[in-house]
Amino acid sequence: MNHYQKVGDMDVNKIMEVKNNRKIQRLFRYAVDTFVELICQVTKRKRLDYRCNDADTASWRYFMEAFPTVGEDFIRKFAEYGIQSWFNDGNERDYSRAVRFNWIFGRAAIDRWNKNSMKTNVYLTRIGLKKENKINVVRIKSCIPELIISIRPVEENFKAEFHNTKRGLAWCIANTTLYFHKSSNCAKCVFKKECKDILKREYPKVYKKRGYDNQSEEL
């Protein structure tokens, strides 16, 4: 077991499991919002009061098992390709009032996606769905890349809670994006070495984005 595996009475792996579940739920909300936005644009509806059923939530669990490390950009591309599979010139039936979330993110949708490369799927979406329907989901595109290299007051408030205590480290693991050199709280924290190690192990992309990839491990 690594020296930072235990934080007080809390297991880091347990904390990360909770945090990962939160991420899955956040991405699920994003996927549903993207699905609804695309349906509204394709069918020219101003509003769609969509309610997920058991089949929808089950399809999302399977989707995340198939693509456990994806983010919002991939989900958006996947949803666009899924929508164009049901709304194209080759379909004689009108699915505008029937299509459901699990049709777009379920097993069959994953099989369709995996038959081609991502580049091919994006191309098919561009010449089909986007050209015919002029869809646009830019307004729901994620701003996460900018957030992870910026100081956020809300996150700083979280980091100030229980500062310089083992409980505080556990709190930060569960509620923040971990060590960030621009944060005054992180700079003064006695657990910054452990926190940076966890950041490197659990979120290597964030670690690299913050410029630590080629730095000395000394703090």
Percent of the residues in the chain that have a pLDDT greater than 90, as a whole number: 36
pLDDT above 90 (res 174):
no
In this prediction, residue 15 has a pLDDT band, given cuts at 50, 70 and 90, of: confident
Domain residue extents for the chain: 19-142, 145-209
Cβ contact 127:58 at 8 Å: no
Higher per-residue pLDDT: 89 or 203 = 203
Cβ contact 81:122 at 8 Å: yes
- pLDDT per position as a tens digit, 20-54: 777 888 899 899 999 998 988 888 888 888 889 99
Q: What is the mean pLDDT of the chain?
A: 82
What do you get for the CA distance between the two ends of the chain, in Å? 23
**CB atoms < 10 A from the CB of 65, how many?**
9
| Polymer length of the chain | 219
Identify the residue whose tokens are 């083992």. Answer: 166
Task: Please give the torsion angle defined by the CA atoms of residues 206, 209, 213 and 214, in that order, rounded to the nearest 10 degrees.
Answer: -160
- pLDDT per position as a tens digit, 49-88: 888 999 999 999 999 999 998 888 999 999 999 998 888 6
pLDDT above 50 (res 4):
no
Cβ contact 135:80 at 8 Å: yes
Report, as an integer, the average pLDDT of 99-117: 95
Put simply, whether the predicted model's pTM sits higher than 0.75 gets the answer no
Higher per-residue pLDDT: 23 or 107 = 107
Model pLDDT, residue 109 = 96
